[in-house]
Structure 1
Amino acid sequence: MPDTAIPAQTAEQTTDDTAARVLTVSESAAKRVAFLVANEGNPALMLRLTVSGGGCSGFQYGFGFDDAVNEDDFVFERNGTKVVTDDASLDLLAGSTLDYVEDLMGAAFQIKNPNATASCGCGNSFAA
């Protein structure tokens, strides 16, 4: 697998505009998602990453598991691990990297989002 995940689109669906709308899944994030999926017991599960209004900065990230891909979804894959996000969320996530970080403060998924103009201290919400 390449270092950068690409959206699961057919050639007819990919345009210059959608090619720039990429979410990169880090090696660490892929390993953690694979571990969590294995513990759920359903190998068809994918991590669903969403952006919704709310949080202390205007938008907030949401994480959950899903085994379905909707018509407006984009699927990003790294080492067989899949992350899915909807079209509206990808507008705010384009160019971002999903990472999983473990340090003395704890362990968590982190989004490195170049579209965020501000974020809260916890890292779960942002302004665009």
Structure 2
Amino acid sequence: MTDIALSPSAAQRVASIAAKQNRPAILRLSVDGGGCSGFQYKFGFADEPLSDDAIAETDGVQLVVDSVSLDLVRGCMVDYVESLGGAAFRVENPNAASGCGCGTSFAI
């Protein structure tokens, strides 16, 4: 079992954004303290994985998570969802005991 996963729709979106910005198709997920539920997800692009990163690859696109954040998101799936409310990367985190309405923060 892998520690983290990237859905095909998220991989496609990362590849599209990375191509437009002429960057490697590497999405970094990290967790910061804060948000309305205690922790919040933070997304950004990375130029390369770091030595302590967990790496998941889908369709040539990498999702990387640092070792500290990994403890909070182990087993998660990052998806890309388009809805009437907008489009966003969404983290399906089995470790989260609760989340907020906006879906960007969680509690353990």
SS at match of 1:70: coil
User: What pairs with 1:41-52 in structure 2 (closer than 5 Å)?
Assistant: 41-42=22-23, 44-52=24-32
Are 1:68 and 2:68 counterparts? no
After superposition, give the CA deviation of every residue in 1:16-64 in whole Å (9 maximum; x if it has no partner): xxx5x6111111101001111101112x341110011111101000001
* 1:109 aligned onto 2:85: no
What value does the CA root-mean-square deviation take over the aligned residues?
A: 1.2
Q: Is the aligned partner of 1:28 residue 2:9?
A: yes
Q: Which runs of 4+ in 1 moved over 2 A?
A: none
- Which structure's residues are more often strand, by fraction? 2
Residue identity in the other structure for 1:26: S
The letter of the residue matching 2:40 is: Q
Counterpart CA distance in 1 for 2:93 and 2:11 is 17
CA distance in 1, matches of 2:86, 2:25: 25
Counterpart of 1:125 (choices 87, 105, 108) is 105
Give how far 1:70 is off.
Answer: 1.6
Q: Alpha-carbon deviations, 1:4-25, whole Å to 9, x = none?
A: xxxxxxxxxxxxxxx5x61111
Partner of 2:20: 39
TM-score after normalising by structure 2: 0.94
For residue 86 of structure 1, the aligned residue among 44, 59, 66 is 66
| Aligned-partner residue type, residue 52 of structure 1 | D
Q: Which runs of 5+ in 2 are unaligned?
A: none
**TM-score, scaled to structure 1:** 0.80
Unmatched segments (≥5 aa) in structure 1: 1-18
CA distance, structure 2, for counterparts of residue 83 and residue 24 of structure 1: 7
> What percentage of residue pairs aligned between the two structures are identical?
52
